[in-house]
Amino acid sequence: QSHRTMSKYAWMKKKKPRGWELIEDSLEEYEAKMKEAVADPHEGRRKCESNWMVHRIHYEKNRFMYDLHYKEKKISKELYQFLIDNKIADPGLHSKWKKPGYETVCSLQSVRTGDHNFATTSICRVPLAKRQDRVGPCQATGCISCASGDGGPIWWDEFDKAMEVAKKKKKKEGGGGGGGGGKRGRDDSDDEDPEFAERLKRLKGM
C-alpha cells in the first residue's frame, strides 16, 4: 500500500525538541519495516527464525539514534533524552552499549543468562576466533557475532563475512599455524555448519 498512515508519534502531545523533524521520517521507515517483519508469513522457517528480522530492525533503529547523538553529534542531548524518556529508543540497549565489551551487542536478549542454556550468554557474544563449535547464528536473535572486535553485529545473512572474520582472527592469534604435534591442520571448512549453510540460501530471501 502506498497510502501514508498517521504517524506513530502523532498522538504525542508533548512539544518535540529541536531536530525532531530531521529524524521523524527515518523513524517512520523503521516502524514500517518492523510492521512488515512482524506480519511476514513464516512458512518454511523455524519458529525462532521468524523473529530474526524483528531483532535486527530493532537494533538498526536504535543504533541510528545512538550514533546520531554520540558519534555524529547531529542531534542534541535534549532530543536524545526525549527519545529515551518516551521509549522511542530502547533505554536498556543504549545503556548497555556504553559499557566496555558491549559496544555492539545485538540485543539485550543475547546477554540475559536466563534465556540461554546453562545460564550463559548467547553464542553470538563469543568471539568468532574462539568458537569451538561451528559458526552459526544465535537461535533467538539471528546474530552470528556481536562480540567486541569482530566488527559486528554480523547477521545470519552475512555468513561469508563471519567466516572471513573467523579465518583472519585465527590466523592472527595462531601465528599462521605452522605446526608440530602431528595433528591435522584445521581447515576453514571445519567451522562451517552444513545445515545452516543450506538453510542460509533460503533465509537470504527474508
Q: Based on the fold, state whether residues 116 and 158 are members of the same structural domain.
A: yes
pLDDT at 1 over 90: no
pLDDT above 90 for 147? yes
Report the number of distinct structural domains present in the chain.
2
Spatial distance between the Cα atoms of 70 and 64, rounded to a whole number of angstroms: 10
Beta bridge partners of 78: none
For residue 25, what is its C-alpha cell?
521520517
For residues 109 and 81, state if they share a domain: no
Q: 65, 81, 98: which is the final residue of a domain?
A: 98
Residues 27 and 76 grouped into a single domain: yes
Is residue 91, in this structure, part of any structural domain at all?
A: yes
What integer pLDDT is reported at residue 116 of this predicted model?
A: 45
% the chain with pLDDT above 70: 70
Residue 36 lies in a domain: yes
Under the banding of pLDDT at 50, 70 and 90, the label for residue 177 is very low
Residue-range definition of the domain harbouring residue 167: 103-176+191-206
Q: Is the domain of 110 the same as that of 60?
A: no
Q: Which of 78, 98, 118 is the last residue of a domain?
A: 98
In a domain, 83, yes or no: yes
Q: What is the CA radius of gyration of the chain?
A: 20
Contact 131, 166 (CB under 8 A): yes
Cα 97 from Cα 78, distance rounded (Å): 19
Reported as a single tens digit per residue, the pLDDT across 153-169 is 999 999 999 999 988 88
**pLDDT above 70 for 51:** yes
Its pTM stands at 0.77
The answer to whether residues 137 and 195 belong to one domain is yes
Is position 181 within any domain? no
In the structure, what pLDDT confidence band is assigned to residue 171 with cuts at 50, 70 and 90?
A: confident
3-state helix vs strand vs coil in the chain, percent to 5: 50, 5, 45
What pLDDT is recorded for position 174?
A: 67
Residue 148 lies in a domain: yes
Same domain, residue pair 30 and 75:
yes
Query: Which residues, at least 6 apart from 115, have a Cβ–Cβ distance to it below 8 Å?
Result: 109, 122, 140
The residues pairing with 145 across neighbouring beta strands, listed in sequence order, are: 154
- Predicted pLDDT of residue 186: 42
pLDDT digits (tens, 9 = 90+) for 60-87: 999 999 999 999 999 999 999 999 999 9
- Indicate the pLDDT class of residue 132, thresholds 50, 70 and 90: confident
Range of lowest pLDDT (27-31, 101-105, 139-143, 200-204): 200-204
Over residues 19-45, the pLDDT tens digits come to 999 999 999 999 999 999 998 876 766
